[in-house]
C-alpha cells in the first residue's frame, strides 16, 4: 500500500518534542495539532466549539495569558500567522482530548456522554498502575 505525503505517520520523536506541561498535565497545543494534522487553527477551533460537550476541562482547556507567555519563553514556541501574534489564547489538549479530536462525531447527545466516559477509562487505568 502506498502512502501519500499527507497520510504518512509523524515520527514519535517529533510528537514528543511538541508535548508541554501545563497545569500539571502533558498537553499538545492547538497550533501543534494543526501542524500535525494539516488543518487550520480556525477549522480545529470551530470543530471544538461545535462539539464543546465532547471536551470537558480534563480533555481541553484554554491557557491563561501568563501560561501561554511562559510556554513561549521556555520552549521558544512561535505563533503562526498574524505576524507571529495570535488572536486568541491557545488551547491545550490532554491525551484524552487528542483522542476525542480523532474520534468520529457521536450522535445523538446520549452517545457523546458515553464516549467521554469511555475515553476516560484507559487514562484512569494508567494512573492506577504502581
Question: Quick one: cell of 110?
Answer: 446520549
pTM of the model: 0.70
Q: pLDDT exceeding 70 applies to what percent of the chain?
A: 63
pLDDT, the chain, mean: 75
Dihedral (CA of 83, 89, 92, 98) sign:
negative
Per-residue model confidence (pLDDT) at position 91: 93
Q: How many domains does the chain have?
A: 1
Q: Rounded to an integer, what distance in angstroms lies between the CA atom of residue 130 and that of residue 128?
A: 6
Question: Quick one: cell of 117?
Answer: 466516559
Q: Could you give the C-alpha distances from 111 to 51, 104, 118, 122, in angstroms and in order?
A: 12, 11, 10, 18
Structural domain of 60: 5-128
pLDDT in tens, 56-74: 999 999 999 999 988 877 7
pLDDT over threshold 90, residue 127: no
pLDDT in tens, 84-101: 556 789 999 999 898 888
Amino acid at each position: 500500500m502506498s502512502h501519500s505525503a499527507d497520510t504518512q505517520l509523524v515520527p514519535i520523536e517529533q510528537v514528543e518534542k511538541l508535548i508541554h506541561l501545563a497545569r500539571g498535565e502533558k498537553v499538545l497545543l492547538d497550533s501543534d495539532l494543526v501542524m500535525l494534522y494539516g488543518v487550520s487553527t480556525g477549522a480545529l477551533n470551530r470543530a471544538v466549539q461545535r462539539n464543546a460537550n465532547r471536551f470537558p476541562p480534563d480533555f481541553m482547556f484554554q491557557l491563561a495569558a501568563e501560561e501561554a507567555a511562559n510556554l513561549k519563553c521556555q520552549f521558544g514556541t512561535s505563533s503562526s500567522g498574524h505576524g507571529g501574534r495570535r488572536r486568541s489564547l491557545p488551547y491545550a489538549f490532554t491525551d484524552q482530548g487528542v483522542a476525542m479530536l480523532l474520534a468520529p462525531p457521536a450522535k445523538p447527545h446520549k452517545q457523546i456522554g458515553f464516549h467521554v466516559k469511555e475515553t476516560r477509562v484507559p487514562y484512569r487505568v494508567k494512573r492506577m498502575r504502581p
